[in-house]
Amino acid sequence: MSDAMIGYGTTFSIQTNDSPNNSPLTYTALAEVFNVTPPNQQVDDVDVTHNTSPNRTREFIPGLIDPGECSFEMNFVPSSASDDRIQQLKASGEQVYMRITFPNSTTWDFLGSVKGYEISSETEGKMTATVTVRVSGTVTAS
C-alpha cells in the first residue's frame, strides 16, 4: 500500500510575532492558498579544474547550499488580510519566518522575504495571485 497523498490541506503561514522573551513564534495561515511549491534547494558546483586535470576533463566539488525560492498561488481578494500582509512584506523587504504545513502535519520552517507578487484578473475567471518567496538560510523540517 502506498503512502502517497494529495496536496489538499497544505497551508502556507507567515510569522505574526517577534518572539518576545524567547517565546515560540506564532504563525497565521494565509487564506485560500493552492499550488504550493516548496523551496528548491540546490548545491552549488565549485569548479576545481586545473592544468593537469585527468583527460582534460573538468572537476567539481560541492559548494554551498542555495536555499532557493518557493512559491504559491492564492485566490486574490483585494484588501484582504492576506493581501495586506503580502503587500506590506514586499514593500518593506522584511525577512520573516514562514511555514509550510503538509497534510500529514509535517512542517517546513524557513526565513524568507517576498520577492514577487503577481496578480491576475481574468475577465471570465477567478482573480489569482502568485507569490514568490526568496528563502534565506536553512529549511527546517519537523
Query: Considering the domain boundaries, does residue 66 fall inside one?
Result: yes
- Is residue 6 in a domain? no
Return d(Cα 59, Cα 103) in angstroms, integer: 42
Query: Splitting the chain (142 residues) into consecutive groups of 10 residues, what average pLDDT does each group show?
Result: 96 83 84 97 97 97 97 97 96 96 97 98 95 97 94
Q: Which CATH number covers residue 117?
A: 4.10.410.40
Residue pair 116/131 in contact (Cβ under 8 Å)? The answer is yes
Give residue 130's domain range.
Answer: 11-141
Determine contact, residues 28/13, Cβ cutoff 8 Å: yes
Taking the C-alpha atoms of residue 131 and residue 66, their distance in angstroms, rounded to an integer, is: 19
pLDDT of residue 17: 72
Q: Is residue 5 part of a domain?
A: no
**Per-residue pLDDT at 25:** 85
CA nearest neighbour of 33 among 106, 82, 103: 82
**pLDDT attached to residue 136:** 97
Task: Confirm whether 78 is domain-assigned.
Answer: yes
Q: C-alpha grid cell for residue 6?
A: 494529495
Tally of domains within the chain: 1
* Residue 94 in domain: yes
Structural domain includes residue 2: no
Residue 61 within a domain = yes
In a domain, 92, yes or no: yes
Residue 121 pairs in a beta bridge with 127
